[in-house]
């Protein structure tokens, strides 16, 4: 096997077709045994439930090449658990977590030539997803589903790598109370598209969404949770039933406490207090930790003391520790790293 001839250092966050993908079909109330296939195209009815009523859910995780040259994945069982909770909320069958983890390993292994080498800053993004595939015209869930996993080599999610971002407070809501904000359903992203295009057209990298009920509390961005650092080095993250339970955020809170000895708090964060924080970052699989330098709320600017040139010191430590664990430079907590090969 030889690595593909890709300019790893200059990859953005885009789709590059790789050799193999995993597919399993759910028909007559059961999943088939699944297989790796070559064909990246999907044929389905014009009336497939996913096309008419957006019955689709997904996950995102990454495969890394460690310092010693192994290929590893990070906490895939948590992605499997979250896909299961998304499936239940969306009236879809659960793909068993052990089979989920196996399907990720198999797909990454089959595309090993696309896993970026250690030290390039790139990773192999893994996208598992499931959708309702049979024709449905009255509003109801599908009976038949397809689960798939594809991979694509990626660089940083935000242009400019780890340079602090400027984001805006969105005029749109992302998720309703008692809605679907806490699961990873395609519909959450569909409804954020107008908001992200608006933000980009205005020169912002992302949106800060506030809670839809009161518009006074911080929720998350379109693709990442928030982490804040107080002036006395406490790490604070918003608690809400309508945000996605980020695996990166949960891991970083553990790292902050257990590796860095910092105080951590998961609690409601009022927008009014954001101006008092020392550092702000966006965390997620794609975002890793992307520092935020400035938040603009209808012309009012909140500029964090960490500035627009580099990450704040605590954000940097969190970033170095998490990526150190993922790339095998630091010892990982039990069960966090799964070796693919």
Candidate residues 6, 52, 60, 297; the one interacting with ligand COI per rule CB under 6 A: 60
Window of 20-28, 197-205, 281-289, 305-313 that interacts with ligand COI by CB under 6 A: 281-289
Kindly compute the dihedral angle of the four CA atoms of residues 6, 9, 10, 15, in this order, to the nearest 10 degrees: 50
Cβ proximity to ligand COI, 146 vs 207, nearer residue: 207
| The token pair that represents 6 in the structure block | 């890709």
312, interface contact from ligand PLP, ligand COI, none, CB < 5-8 Å by kind: none
Q: How far is CA 138 from CA 17, 48, 49, 133, 211, in A?
A: 35, 12, 10, 14, 32
Half-sphere exposure of 252 (CA within 13 A, CB side): 34
First to last CA, the chain: 13
Neighbour-count burial for 187-214, b at 16+ CB within 10 Å, e otherwise: bbbebbeebbeebeeeebbbbbbbbbee
Residue closer to ligand PLP by CB (options 142, 240) is 240
Binds ligand COI by CB under 6 A, chosen from 34, 223, 293, 328: 223
Assess whether 4 carries a catalytic annotation.
Answer: no
- Nearest Cα residue to 131 out of 204, 184, 191, 75: 184
Task: Report in angstroms how near the CB of residue 279 gets to ligand COI at its nearest.
Answer: 20
Instruction: For the CB of residue 20, give the shortest distance to ligand PLP in the complex, in Å.
Output: 23
Nearest-CA neighbor of 280 among 313, 264, 304, 259?
304
Give the SS3 label for residue 78. helix
Angle between helices 97-110 and 76-89 (to 10 degrees): 120
Q: Which two tokens stand for residue 196?
A: 């992200």
Q: Is 284 in the site for ligand COI (CB under 6 A)?
A: yes
H or E element that contains 147: strand 145-154
Per partner kind, with CB cut-offs from 5 to 8 A, the member of ligand PLP, ligand COI, none near residue 24 is none
186 binds, among ligand PLP, ligand COI, none (CB under 5 to 8 A by kind): none
Q: Which is nearer to ligand PLP, 48 or 287 (CB)?
A: 287
The CB-of-189 to ligand PLP minimum distance in angstroms stands at: 7
Report how far residue 46's alpha carbon sits from residue 121's, in angstroms, rounded to the nearest whole number. 40
244 binds, among ligand PLP, ligand COI, none (CB under 5 to 8 A by kind): ligand PLP
- Cβ-based nearer residue to ligand COI, 236 or 283: 283
Instruction: Specify the residue, 153 or 284, whose C-beta has the smaller distance to ligand COI.
Output: 284
Determine if 286 is a binding residue for ligand COI (CB under 6 A).
Answer: yes
Residue 225 touches ligand COI, criterion: CB under 6 A:
no
The item of ligand PLP, ligand COI, none sharing an interface with residue 240, based on CB under 5 to 8 Å by kind, is none
d(CA 317, CA 293): 17
Task: For the segment 122-181, give every residue that binds ligand COI (CB under 6 A).
Answer: none
CB nearer ligand PLP, residue 133 or residue 282: 282
Q: How far is the CB of 38 from ligand COI (least distance, A)?
A: 25
Specify whether the CB–CB gap between 229 and 236 falls below 8 A.
yes
C-alpha span between 283 and 116 (Å, rounded): 21
Strand partners, 251: none
| CB-nearer residue toward ligand PLP: 128 or 284 | 284
Catalytic option among 184, 217, 294, 317: 184
Closest separation between CB of residue 284 and ligand COI, Å? 4
Pair 81, 98: CB distance under 8 Å: no
| Strand, coil or helix: 76 | helix
Query: Which residues of the chain form contacts with ligand PLP (CB under 6 A)?
Result: 60, 220, 223-225, 244, 246-249, 284-285
* Residues taking part in catalysis: 184
Binding stretches for ligand COI (CB under 6 A): 60, 223, 284-286
């Amino acid at each position: 096997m030889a690595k593909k001839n890709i300019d790893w250092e200059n990859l953005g966050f885009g789709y590059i077709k790789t050799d193999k993908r995993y597919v399993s079909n759910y028909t007559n109330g059961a999943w088939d045994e699944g297989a790796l296939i070559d064909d990246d195209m999907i044929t389905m009815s014009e009336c497939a439930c996913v096309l008419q009523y957006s019955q689709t859910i997904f996950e995102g995780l990454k495969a890394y090449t460690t310092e010693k040259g192994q290929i590893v994945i990070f906490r895939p069982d948590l992605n499997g658990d979250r896909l299961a909770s998304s499936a239940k909320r969306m009236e879809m069958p659960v793909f068993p977590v052990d089979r989920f983890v196996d399907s990720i390993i198999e797909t990454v292994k089959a595309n090993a030539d696309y896993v970026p080498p250690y030290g390039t800053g790139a990773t192999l993004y893994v996208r598992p997803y499931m959708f309702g595939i049979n024709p449905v015209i009255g509003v109801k869930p599908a009976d038949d589903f397809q689960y798939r996993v594809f991979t694509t080599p990626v660089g940083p999610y935000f242009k400019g790598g780890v340079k602090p971002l400027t984001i805006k407070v969105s005029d749109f809501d992302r998720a309703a109370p008692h809605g679907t904000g806490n699961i990873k359903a395609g519909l959450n992203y569909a409804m954020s598209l107008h908001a992200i295009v608006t933000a980009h057209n205005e020169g912002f990298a992302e949106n800060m969404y506030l809670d839809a009920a009161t518009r006074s509390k911080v929720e998350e961005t379109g693709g990442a949770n928030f982490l804040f650092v107080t002036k006395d080095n406490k790490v604070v993250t918003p608690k809400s039933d309508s945000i996605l339970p980020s695996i990166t955020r949960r891991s970083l809170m553990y790292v902050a406490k257990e590796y860095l000895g910092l105080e951590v708090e998961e609690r409601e964060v009022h927008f009014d207090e954001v101006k008092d924080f020392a550092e702000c970052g966006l965390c997620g699989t794609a975002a890793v930790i992307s520092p935020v330098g400035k938040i603009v709320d209808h012309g009012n600017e909140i500029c964090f003391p960490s500035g627009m040139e580099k990450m704040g010191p605590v954000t940097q430590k969190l970033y170095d520790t998490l990526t150190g664990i993922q790339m095998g430079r630091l010892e990982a907590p039990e069960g966090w790293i799964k070796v693919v090969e």
